[in-house]
């Protein structure tokens, strides 16, 4: 029996009995030590994308070399720069001698060759081209080292304490212990942020193949599950001798998107098999349950000395929870609104909360805000209202 399959069964038993995630993780680590010969990967995590909820974790904080999966951080930094107006995807990038000499996966860029940033990013994310990564890094930051520092700054901004980059592409070109490092959990956070802030990146990561160099060349995706797994549309594969076989995958079914991270698999077949097992298990046992939409009315709040007698309290954000399929009917909601609120109130001002629980566990809470602004009336207007 392969380890991930066994660990998934253990996790089901743990969740059913209410065991905390830390206890489950410790159980899996002990089991891994006893069955080291059967361990199929070094670390794995499964997330629900909208809420970021961890559905499964095995060695989530184990430091690992990420290989080319770290190109997700390169893509995130590029998209941030585009959003800030620092660069455009139509900017022309000219290839330096340094970029043209990078080894590993590449599209064989030539020194002096020029093409838009959009095409370079496509080469990096579809074909995992290391030479394109260096060209992008130099265009944005002047040097690959400066761009790596920018990637590290973004990691700190995201609160990632165990992630460090020394280059733009993920190659192990530094001594062991001094190279790129992350964890399955933190790599998942990079992927979740990318999908949350720039969902358009799926237009690139979902490409099985695409034209390059004005059609003179065809890029083929390194993610073979795009052809075989229902709903799969990203995100990034990776391999080095230090990292093993890695894959950050994402798929969407029935309105729920999952993100899987598998690090340190023994070979490509195992990497893909364990990714499929994680995602299939997640879709089989969990569902995203939409409870309310942003702006939905949750009740009226009476206003003291208001120009109008009451104001509508509405949800500030959409509310959805991720549950095991059998838990849907066990949900409880609690509306917290004051009987009366002093005027004035401003549109969007907090008035209360909607809390959703499963048993004694709080699953989610959303602010209830004023639908519109209501002014306070003066003493004279208040007196005249009685006549």
Positions marked active-site: 68, 71, 128
Q: Is 374 helix (H, G, I), strand (E, B) or coil?
A: strand
HSE-up of 371 (CA within 13 Å, CB side)?
Answer: 14
Compute the Cα dihedral for 357, 360, 365, 369 and give only its sign.
positive
Which phi and psi angles does 59 have, rounded to 5°? 50, 50
Reference 306, options 367, 368, 370, 350; nearest CA is: 370
**234, 222 Cβ separation under 8 angstroms:** no
Q: DSSP assignment, residue 307?
A: S
Reference 343, options 374, 299, 368; nearest CA is: 374
Q: Is 317 helix (H, G, I), strand (E, B) or coil?
A: coil
Which phi and psi angles does 86 have, rounded to 5°? -70, -40
Reference 236, options 117, 89, 128, 104; nearest CA is: 128
Reference 237, options 245, 229, 247, 225; nearest CA is: 247
Task: Give Cβ neighbours of residue 324 (< 8 Å, ≥ 6 apart).
Answer: 15, 285, 286, 287
């Amino acid at each position: 029996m392969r380890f991930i399959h066994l660990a998934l069964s253990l996790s089901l038993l743990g969740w059913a009995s209410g065991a905390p995630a830390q206890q489950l993780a410790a159980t899996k680590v002990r089991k891994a030590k006893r069955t080291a010969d059967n361990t199929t990967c070094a670390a794995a995590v499964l997330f629900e994308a909208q809420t970021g909820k961890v559905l499964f974790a095995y060695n989530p904080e184990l430091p690992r070399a990420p290989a080319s999966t770290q190109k997700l951080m390169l893509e995130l930094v590029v998209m941030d720069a585009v959003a800030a107006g620092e660069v455009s995807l139509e900017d022309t990038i000219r290839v330096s001698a340094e970029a043209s000499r990078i080894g590993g996966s590449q599209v064989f860029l030539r020194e002096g060759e020029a093409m838009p940033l959009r095409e370079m990013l496509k080469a990096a994310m579809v074909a995992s081209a290391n030479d394109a990564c260096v060209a992008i890094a130099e265009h944005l930051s002047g040097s690959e080292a400066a761009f790596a520092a920018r990637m590290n700054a973004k990691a700190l901004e995201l609160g990632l304490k165990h992630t460090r980059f020394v280059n733009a592409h993920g190659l192990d070109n530094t001594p062991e212990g001094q190279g790129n490092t992350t964890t399955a959990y933190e790599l998942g956070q990079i992927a979740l942020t990318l999908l949350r802030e720039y969902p358009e990146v799926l237009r690139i990561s979902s490409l099985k193949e695409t034209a390059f160099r004005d059609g003179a060349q065809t890029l083929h995706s390194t993610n073979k599950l795009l052809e075989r797994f229902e709903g799969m549309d990203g995100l990034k594969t990776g391999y080095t001798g230090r990292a093993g076989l890695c894959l950050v995958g994402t798929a969407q079914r029935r309105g729920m998107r999952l993100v899987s991270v598998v690090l340190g698999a023994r070979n490509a077949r195992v990497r893909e098999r364990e990714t499929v097992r994680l995602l299939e298990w997640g879709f089989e046992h969990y569902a995203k349950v939409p409870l309310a939409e942003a702006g939905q009315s949750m009740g009226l709040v009476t206003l003291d000395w208001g120009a109008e007698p009451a104001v509508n309290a509405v949800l500030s954000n959409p509310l959805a929870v991720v549950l095991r399929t059998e838990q849907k009917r066990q949900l409880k909601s609690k509306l917290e609104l004051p009987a009366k609120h002093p005027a004035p109130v401003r549109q969007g001002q907090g008035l209360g909360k909607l809390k959703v629980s499963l048993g004694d566990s709080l699953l989610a809470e959303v602010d209830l805000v004023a639908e519109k602004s209501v002014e306070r009336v003066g003493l004279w207007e208040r007196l005249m209202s009685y006549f």
